[in-house]
């Protein structure tokens, strides 16, 4: 069992402490599977369950690059959860 630290941005800042969310993970998994894991976690609370739709349209990033759905996330790793963007 390990912890993945998820850096939060945009609408996801209402989760965790607003900066980071700690997600327990038994073993390495793909981004796609991690997304499902997050979805289950969000559904545990009424306030975060409405974020599940946004989660499906969100990207996951490592330190400096976006990860694709087949990228592997390891316990102990830190990733960023990036909802749909609207800068500029």
Partner 1 sequence: MSAVCRTTETPIEVSRAIEALTYDSHGARNIFIGQVRNHNLGRAVRFIQYDAHRILTEKVFAEICQEAAEKWGEDLSFVVEHRVGKLEIGDIAVIVVVSSRHRDESYKASRYVIEQIKVRAPIWKKESYIDGETEWVRGHALCAHGNAAHEPHLEASGGGHVHP
Please identify which residue in 1, 27, 40, 64 interacts with partner 1, judged by CB under 8 A: 64
State the number of CA atoms in the 13 A half-sphere of 9 facing the CB: 14
**Shortest Å, Cβ 1 to partner 1:** 27
Q: Give the helix/strand (H/E) hosting 29.
A: strand 29-30
Judged by CB under 8 A, the chain residues 14 through 53 that form the site for partner 1 are: none
Beta carbon nearer to partner 1, 24 or 78: 78
Q: Is 86 in the site for partner 1 (CB under 8 A)?
A: yes
State the number of CA atoms in the 13 A half-sphere of 80 facing the CB: 11
* Cα 44 from Cα 27, distance rounded (Å): 21
Footprint of partner 1 on this chain (CB under 8 A)?
7, 9-11, 13, 54, 56-61, 63-64, 66, 69, 80, 82-88
């Amino acid at each position: 069992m390990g912890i993945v630290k998820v850096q939060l941005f945009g609408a996801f800042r209402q989760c965790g402490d607003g900066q980071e969310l700690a997600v327990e993970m038994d073993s390495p998994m793909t981004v796609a599977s991690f997304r499902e894991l997050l979805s289950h976690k969000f559904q545990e609370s009424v306030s975060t369950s409405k974020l599940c739709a946004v989660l499906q349209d969100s990207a996951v990033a490592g330190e400096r690059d976006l990860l694709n759905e087949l990228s592997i996330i390891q316990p102990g790793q830190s990733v960023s959860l990036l909802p749909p963007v609207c800068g500029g």
